[in-house]
Amino acid sequence: MGLARPVVFGNWKMHGLRADSLALAGSLVERAVRPTGTLGVFPPATVLRDVARRLEGSRILAGAQDCHPEASGAFTGSISASMVKDAGGTAVLVGHSERRHGLGEDDAVIRRKVLAAQGEGLLVVLCVGETEAEWQAGEREARLRRQIHEGLAETVDAALLVLAYEPVWAIGTGRTPSLEDIAGTHAFLRRELVGRLPAAQDVPLLYGGSVKPGNAADIMALPDVDGALVGGASLDAAGFWSIYQAGGGA
Ligand SMILES: O=C[C@H](O)COP(=O)(O)O
């Protein structure tokens, strides 16, 4: 059985001290009494434990925004998958564009992170997406194909996988691809993913990049769009909840 749809995840990025984060988590718990879909938040690592505790008893999952591929060692500033789990996290984002492009992570390290996280039983949200230059040069599909084939080892557990398509140029910009474009790209991603992992037919495909309450319904109504990975708009509980409802969640 896969995750209940819609799958709507909020990436809080580097936002939120403890009090704000707990208030946001609490506000979501009040709304999500018995959610029909899958809701999750990815707070900063510093508050992951507190947020996970606040979400206990709800069906909202808490995850980390990254993990290191090694189990432990001299890796200053990093956290391992087992540390995420120890802090109460059950999921982790891997390969977000702000780490690929801002911190130079390549598909080889991302592949190792995916395996490390799944080795601890964490749900992996693998983020893929093309840059604006790649899009304009007609290289989108080639880039996405590489990210899927190189980022996912053949031994990846499809039951612990979510794929998030986030065009780099749509993140935090207010711009999104056309609905037709998103639908076409998600169909392509489904084919590539199943070609890579035959068991991935039911892996949720999320769209991310400037998802807001105003565009969420149209985007999540598209075939092969199973939910959304939301950045900025997930920092407001009412807005995040309305995105979830726009995707059919109750
Ligand atoms: O992980 C989330 C994405 O980077 C989307 O961010 P955004 O909704 O602020 O564009």
Q: Mind listing the pLDDT tens digit for each residue in 32-48?
A: 999 999 999 999 999 99
Q: Which residues of 169-191 are buried (b: 16+ CB within 10 A; e: fewer)?
A: bbbeeeebbeeeebbbbbebbbe
- Was 169 annotated as part of a binding site? no
Compute the average pLDDT of residues 115-139. 98
Of all atoms in ligand 1, which is nearest to the CA of residue 234? Answer: 8
Q: Which atom of ligand 1 lies closest to the CA of 172?
A: 10
Q: Is 232's C-beta closer than 6 angstroms to any atom of ligand 1?
A: yes
Which residue's alpha carbon is at the smallest distance from atom 8 of ligand 1? 231
Closest to 234 (Cα-Cα) out of 25, 3, 37: 25
Confidence of residue 65 (pLDDT cuts 50, 70, 90): very high
SS (H, E, C) 118-144: HHCCCEEEEEECCCHHHHHCCCHHHHH
What is the pTM for the complete model shown?
0.98
Tell me the pLDDT band of 214, cut-offs 50, 70 and 90: very high
Is the minimum distance from the CB of 167 to ligand 1 under 6 angstroms? no
Q: Whole-angstrom Cα distance, residue 160 to residue 180?
A: 28
Q: What would the pLDDT profile of 167-180 be if each residue is shown by its tens digit?
A: 999 999 999 999 99
Asked if pLDDT for residue 142 goes beyond 80, the answer is yes
Interval 82-89 mean pLDDT? 98
Could you give the 3-state DSSP secondary structure of residue 235? helix
Yes or no: say if 140 and 134 are a contact pair by the CB < 8 Å rule: yes
63 appears as a binding residue in the annotation: no
pLDDT of residue 173: 98
pLDDT at residue 164 is higher than 70: yes
Annotation says 56 is catalytic = no
Domain 7-246 CATH (choose: 3.30.70.260, 3.20.20.70, 3.40.30.10, 1.10.10.10): 3.20.20.70
| In the predicted structure, residue 1 carries a pLDDT above the cut 60 | no
72-93 average pLDDT score: 98
